[in-house]
A and B are shown apart, each in its own frame.
Chain A
Amino acid sequence: MSRSVHKSKRLGLYEKKYAYFYILPGVVVLALITLAPFIYDVILSFTNKSLVSAKAPVFIGLANYKDVVTSKYFWIALLKTLQYAFFAVLIEMILGFILALLFQVEFRGKIIIRSLLLLPMVATPIAISLLWKIMYNADSGVINYLLGFFHIPGIAWLAVEKTAMFSVVLVDVWQWTPFVFIILSAGLYSLPEEPFEAAVVDGASLWQMLRYILFPLLKPILTIALLFRMVDSFKAFDLIYVLTGGGPGVSTETLNIHIFLNGFKYLKMGYAAALSIFLIFFTLLISNFIVKKGGLGL
């Protein structure tokens, strides 16, 4: 052990009772930037604060919460959030996993292709959203242009209710599959080789190896990737806002967009705060479920 460690031990600085002092600065900062706004949010949700009223907000108890639960648009937004999260995450997990498996094999140009695959994840989300919006343009976008070569008539991707959600999910998948790919790659890399070698010797098929060895061993990593992506997709905002603004109609108005519109367009901050509490509660519910089922031992 180094001399400074010896000295600290002699001075008793490793004592358990000092532990709280050591973590205090970090905890204070964390509390300020996460707890304080959260507490303000909860307080706001019990008031009728409007962004254009000069009057001080009035405490109105659970009225906002009642309005949320009886609002048709809230339930629609919840449904849209579930749709978005479910489809985006499902496709990302599958594609990410396939890519991670493929990259276990050596092939020429692997490093270049890997770098290209990672680009969507590191590019600025707003830039991505704007570029995809241009690509999706019904008259002059590159996607319809390419479809034209196959004699498929151009589709108004973002302007038609049926295709709007799909179009937005597609961009999310394009952007975040690399994230799943990286996490699962790291997971695969860390797996021991012996069980697989033994399985090959025993004559197991690819599917049996995947099902009985790979997935159980990879479960914690899969859970982490799933958790991150799930929670992130509930929070998705910039993509949807730029591409469709929540439209057409309310077909892409997820809960996050709904909260933003209520707070900053309809100026009903108290109501928006109540909506956000619902989103937090809902996110906690789902993430707890994932953590428990994923057996992360947390």
Chain B
Amino acid sequence: MKRTLVVISCLLLVVTIVTPSMGLDWKQAEGTKLRIMFVQHWFTDALKPLLPDFEEMTGIKVQLEVLTESEYWNKMIVEFNSGANPPDAFMLNYVTVAQYEAGGWVEPLGDYISNPDLTDIEGYDFNDFFPAAIDFGTFKEKLYGLPITGEWQILFYRKDLYEEKGLAVPKTMDELYKNAVAIHSDKVAGIANRAHRTSAAWWPWAGFARTYGGYWVSPEGKVGLTDPNVVEATEMYVKLLRDAGPKGILNYTWYEASQDFQQGRAAHFIDSSGFLGGFEDPENSAVAGKVGYALMPAAKEGSSPVPNVNHWMLGMGAQSKKKEAAYLFLQWATSKENTITIARNVGSGARASVFEDAELLSKYPAQAIEVSLASAAIADKLALPQIVELGEIGQYLAIAINEVFADEANTMKFLEEAQAQTEKALSE
């Protein structure tokens, strides 16, 4: 009798030790309903078909609302201020991390990530994320956003038109200008870039400013719009649009500019590497296979460009009553598997493993991958100030760009005006 007892207790002991730990219980928030708001974006398009997998795996119902970018930012502000049922998870960018932190609307993620009850620590592989991407979503030493895109400012050009006209890949802005003007015609514009006053024209512009050696707002908080380097950068940015841009260029947001390039109506586009997926998609793109990729041109011979960088991120609401469920969603959407799956459609991502994936590497031109990574190595997130007032000063800048376009002779005057307005906004 005593022996049987010992044997049984030994067996029980062995069983409990040997049984693998259940790990993360994905169904721990089963039955919850999440309200998620995303921007109309390639990430959203790529994630939507995967949602049923999430719902099946976790038993959490997802109600996804999608809006175009400027409407999205407006709506988010209203949602957080009126507070009735603000979204549980949402897309964030560099600046809204600062804004939402100031409003107390966004939840720091550090504790969730290190909690083994909520995170499949080994499978999630947090260290797989590019450190710069994690840094991007960190504000005042806390991580608020998990990166879902890896975007670096690069030059897209039409290599078929280059061959036709015998042009060489531009190393400097002046060479780019000459190439754009040479190709520019009624059918194909030389270049398309963001210019609309409510678009985020400051994103590509800021890369120009850094490339010419200036800052929009320096890390010390000094406004640099009248700095001669920045003036030169602005003149070049506008010159390209004025002399080689399509007719309605001042109405172009990134939607229109990328569309024009994708439909073969523009020969150059200096913007996020994230667009390469759409450009290489043979079903939707008129220029698939004809796209050349290069680093953004430098300001002058021998110097190096300083591209801008962007990572869209996912964050969760501090006011949410379903934080565990929201975090599970965040973890799933940014998991290694999903990031790679989505990256295969897009050509880039925020994890190192993305750029080691054989399928992705075989699907996209080596040049595109090479240039993206090269740009990532020299990109500077400080091209943009991570401040609450970015929306406001962005408008002053966009107004200045529009006005310089219409009236080149008074460039300095418009920039001085924007400088004064920006300094005033920052001092309040």
A158 interface residue per 8 A CB criterion: yes
Q: Tell me if B405 and A267 are in contact (CB < 8 A).
A: no
Q: Tell me if B248 and A158 are in contact (CB < 8 A).
A: yes
For A266, the chain B residues whose CB sits under 8 A away are: 389, 391-392, 395, 425
Per-residue 0/1 for A49-72: is the Cβ within 8 Å of any B Cβ (1 yes, 0 no)?
A: 001111000000000000000001
- Report how far A247 CA is from B398 CA in the complex, Å: 9
For B392, the chain A residues whose CB sits under 8 A away are: 265-268
- Report how far A161 CA is from B102 CA in the complex, Å: 37
Q: Tell me if A156 and B247 are in contact (CB < 8 A).
A: yes
- Report how far A66 CA is from B388 CA in the complex, Å: 23
CB under 8 Å from chain A, chain B span 246-286? 246-251, 265
Candidates A159, A245, A250; contact of B248 at CB < 8 Å? A159
Closest to B75 in A: A264
Instruction: Tell me the minimal C-beta distance from A110 to chain B in angstroms.
Output: 40
CB under 8 Å from chain A, chain B span 234-251? 246-251
For B402, the chain A residues whose CB sits under 8 A away are: 161, 247-249
Count B-side interface residues using an 8 Å CB cutoff: 34
- Report how far A158 CA is from B250 CA in the complex, Å: 8
CB under 8 Å from chain A, chain B span 373-388? 388
B399 interface residue per 8 A CB criterion: yes
For A264, the chain B residues whose CB sits under 8 A away are: 74, 77-78
Q: Tell me if A52 and B99 are in contact (CB < 8 A).
A: yes
Per-residue 0/1 for A220-253: is the Cβ within 8 Å of any B Cβ (1 yes, 0 no)?
A: 0000000000000000000000001111111000
Q: Tell me if A52 and B77 are in contact (CB < 8 A).
A: yes
Per-residue 0/1 for B70-88: is the Cβ within 8 Å of any A Cβ (1 yes, 0 no)?
A: 1001100110010000000
For A155, the chain B residues whose CB sits under 8 A away are: 247
Q: Tell me if B102 and A244 are in contact (CB < 8 A).
A: no
Instruction: Tell me the minimal C-beta distance from B409 to chain A in angstroms.
Output: 14
Instruction: Tell me the minimal C-beta distance from B309 to chain A in angstroms.
Output: 23
- Report how far A154 CA is from B186 CA in the complex, Å: 10
- Report how far A155 CA is from B99 CA in the complex, Å: 39
Q: Tell me if A246 and B248 are in contact (CB < 8 A).
A: no
A83 interface residue per 8 A CB criterion: no
- Report how far A45 CA is from B267 CA in the complex, Å: 49
- Report how far A137 CA is from B265 CA in the complex, Å: 14
- Report how far A179 CA is from B361 CA in the complex, Å: 61
- Report how far A248 CA is from B103 CA in the complex, Å: 31
Per-residue 0/1 for B155-197: is the Cβ within 8 Å of any A Cβ (1 yes, 0 no)?
A: 0000000000000000000000000000000000000000011
Q: Tell me if A139 and B247 are in contact (CB < 8 A).
A: yes
For B246, the chain A residues whose CB sits under 8 A away are: 138-139
Q: Tell me if A245 and B197 are in contact (CB < 8 A).
A: yes
Candidates B104, B405, B406; contact of A54 at CB < 8 Å? B104
Q: Tell me if B77 and A159 are in contact (CB < 8 A).
A: no
Instruction: Tell me the minimal C-beta distance from B100 to chain A in angstroms.
Output: 7
B69 interface residue per 8 A CB criterion: no
Q: Tell me if B103 and A245 are in contact (CB < 8 A).
A: no
- Report how far A249 CA is from B246 CA in the complex, Å: 18
B423 interface residue per 8 A CB criterion: no
Candidates A54, A156, A158, A249; contact of B399 at CB < 8 Å? A249
B403 interface residue per 8 A CB criterion: yes
Q: Tell me if A249 and B406 are in contact (CB < 8 A).
A: yes
Q: Tell me if B77 and A138 are in contact (CB < 8 A).
A: no
Candidates B74, B197, B249, B265; contact of A246 at CB < 8 Å? B197
For A246, the chain B residues whose CB sits under 8 A away are: 197-198
- Report how far A249 CA is from B410 CA in the complex, Å: 14
Q: Tell me if B249 and A265 are in contact (CB < 8 A).
A: no
Q: Tell me if A245 and B104 are in contact (CB < 8 A).
A: no
- Report how far A264 CA is from B417 CA in the complex, Å: 22
For A138, the chain B residues whose CB sits under 8 A away are: 246-248, 251
Instruction: Tell me the minimal C-beta distance from B288 to chain A in angstroms.
Output: 21
A261 interface residue per 8 A CB criterion: yes
CB under 8 Å from chain B, chain A span 252-271? 261, 264-268
A204 interface residue per 8 A CB criterion: no
Q: Tell me if B249 and A159 are in contact (CB < 8 A).
A: yes
Q: A52-B100, A54-B102, A247-B250 are in contact. List 8 more A-B contacts (CB 8 A).
A: A52-B103, A54-B103, A138-B248, A159-B249, A159-B251, A248-B250, A248-B251, A265-B391
Interface residues of A (CB under 8 A from B): 51-54, 72, 137-139, 154-161, 244-250, 261, 264-268
List 15 A-B residue pairs with CB atoms under 8 Å apart, sorted by A's residue number: A52-B77, A52-B99, A139-B246, A154-B247, A156-B248, A158-B248, A158-B251, A159-B249, A159-B250, A160-B406, A248-B197, A249-B403, A266-B391, A266-B395, A266-B425
